[in-house]
Amino acid sequence: MNHESEIETRERLTRLWREAEPSVQAYVFAAVRSVQDAEDVVQQVALTVARRFDEYDGARPFVAWALWLAKSRVIDHYRRQEREKLVFSEALLEQLAEALVQRQPQRSARQEALERCIEKLPAKSRQLLELRYEEDASMERVAEAVQSTAASVRVLLFRIRNLLAECVQSQLSKEVL
């Protein structure tokens, strides 16, 4: 493989994984009890996807293939955890994966709409969202960072979430038309 095609392959893998990762995470977090274990399983899925990307059939949905690999990693996880029993049957895991595959296009459209709406927000609103949700800061820490009170931060975040919900609905209704 020449250098250019290797770069193109990596870029394609990255793009496909970014689109599929939320569905993979939802699947794994629904199937694995411990948050720490679920995060580990998602990382294992990402590694497996990268290692086996040359096996992926581009004619089929990538998210379905990634979820098939995720199902295997979840089963492997429970096999390694002898002290825990498999919480879900393989059939249920399969149904969950199929449901996520069917929802993927809708979720992607919603995610894209949300990203566009966030970009339209004023810088201070984006800062509040970043502190609270990306950095997982407490209300008190967010209030301190923006030199405000926790109560006013709660109100502002409530208003921002409402604005985003309205904006996303508006964006999605435009796409349907």
Do the Cβ atoms of 20 and 68 come closer than 8 Å? no
Q: Which fold has domain 1-104?
A: Rna Polymerase Sigma Factor; Chain: A (1.10.1740)
**Is the full-model pTM beyond 0.85?**
no
Q: What is the pLDDT of residues 87-125, one digit of tens each?
A: 556 676 677 777 776 666 655 677 778 888 888 989 889
CB 33 within 8 A of CB 77: no
CA-CA-CA-CA dihedral for 161, 107, 91, 68, to nearest 10: -120
The CATH class of 121-177 is mainly alpha
Please give the single-letter amino acid code of residue 115.
E
Write down the pLDDT at residue 103: 66
As a whole number of angstroms, the distance between CA 93 and CA 27 comes to 8
pLDDT, residue 16, reads 92
Show me where the domains of the chain are located.
1-104, 121-177
Q: In this predicted model, what pLDDT tens digit does every residue of 17-70 receive, in sequence order?
A: 998 899 899 888 888 888 888 899 999 999 999 999 999 988 889 999 999 999
